[in-house]
Structure 1
């Protein structure tokens, strides 16, 4: 299905992604973890062709994605939806119009300029918002919504593209634990109910273990872990993050229970 072969991205003297090879045989939910600067976001941006690879290939169903140009590249970006940490919505535009932007790659320039949408697309956008539990906000400006609601609008826009792959770059990094859980539940449903391949960059181990079928750990641009959530032990996490024995998973937890647990009292010196 998806085959990443020796993928490398170099920025000047910095190698952001270093000879990464990953093979995915079937739709699943994959979490990519690692410290800031590990290359996670750059890898997703190359998958979506927002960044060009310095070397290596990305193959999807046998097609070389890295060689696509022009209209073929835009079609791939429609098939490979991207969800960003900062939502990337049009703040002063209403919610349903933001969702309809998921069809831009399939519409004519004239239709785009005059904001013209078929009735069938409008109904579909409303159905997607209903599915995500935010149809009641369809007429509101995006900027009037909470962060969690805005991220769900961004998910709805991605679904509107009818993609084969959904990429999510730190989708819950700026959300509180309750909204983070709702957004991750929605992303998981895109795999469970729609059969889509979902790849999410995540910054917390508990989230990766709870929601993902497979976890990939990156460090200094390289894949240093590739396994199941059960194999993501504390020792493996230390290796991924380059941490010593003082490493604590609780410091990265997004669970409401963990955040509500009192910290142990300091031991007097």
Structure 2
């Protein structure tokens, strides 16, 4: 389904992603972990074509997506939806309109200018919001919602594109543990119920183990681990993060029970 071959991105003398080669033969929920600056976000941005690669390639169902331009690139971006850490919603716009923005790639310029949407699209947006448990917030401004609710609006906007692949760049990094679990459960259900591939950059090991079928570890731009959640041992995690023997998973856990058992004034990384 997705083949990545020697994909590389350089910024001047710095290499953000270094010869990444990965093969995804079936739909799965995949977590990518690694410390800040490991190349996780750059990899996703290359797959979505928000960023051009310096060399290498990636194909989807045998079609090369690496050098698409113009309308062809926009068509691919509609099939490869992106969810961001900071939601990227229009704060003063109502929730339904934010979700309907997921259809912009297939709408005319005139319809976009006058904010005109087919009734069928409006109904579908409402159905998706209902599926994600936030339909009662449909008429509210996005800025009135909590962080977790806004991230679910962003997921709903991605689903409006009816994508083959959903890329989530640190989707829970700015959320509290309860909302983080709600968002990850939503992404997991989307994968299981719709059969969509979900690739998420994650910053906690327990989240990757709990929700993902496969985990990719990146360090200094290179893929250094590719395996199952069960293979992601503490020792492997130390190698991925370049940490010493004092490395503690509990310090970055999003598990509510873990946080409850620690100092209530501590802030999880």
Normalising TM by the smaller chain, what interval? over 0.9
Residue in structure 2 matched with residue 162 of structure 1 by the alignment: 162
- Distance in 1 between residues matched to 2:160 and 2:255, nearest whole Å: 30
The question of 1:91 aligning with 2:113 is answered no
Summarize the alignment of residues 172-191 of structure 1 with structure 2, pairs less than 5 Å apart. 172-191=172-191
Deviations 1:209-248 (A, max 9, x none): 0000000000000000000000000000000000010100
Runs of 4+ in 1 over 6 A off after TM superposition: none
Supply the RMSD in Å over aligned alpha carbons: 0.5
State the number of aligned residues.
263
Structure 2 length-normalised TM: 0.97
- Can you give the 5+ residue segments of structure 1 that lack an aligned partner in the other structure? 264-269
For residues 41 and 67 of structure 1, the distance between their equivalents in structure 2, rounded to whole angstroms, comes to: 19
Partner of 2:212: 212
2:7 aligned with 1:2: no
Gaps of 5+ in 2: 264-269
CA distance in 2, matches of 1:176, 1:243: 25
CA deviations over 1:176-195 (Å, ceiling 9, x no partner): 00000000000001110000
Separation in structure 2 between the aligned mates of residue 40 and residue 262 of structure 1, nearest angstrom:
29
**What SS is found at the alignment partner of 1:66?**
coil
The match for 1:266 is none
TM-score by length of 1: 0.97
Answering whether residue 196 of structure 2 is matched by residue 196 of structure 1, we say yes
Distance 1:19 1:45 in 2: 15
Alignment of 1:34-183 (within 5 A): 34-183=34-183
How far 1:18 sits from its partner (Å)? 0.2
d(CA) in 2 for partners of 1:123, 1:231: 43
* 1: CA distance, partners of 2:63 / 2:112: 29
Give secondary structure in 1 for the equivalent of 2:195.
coil
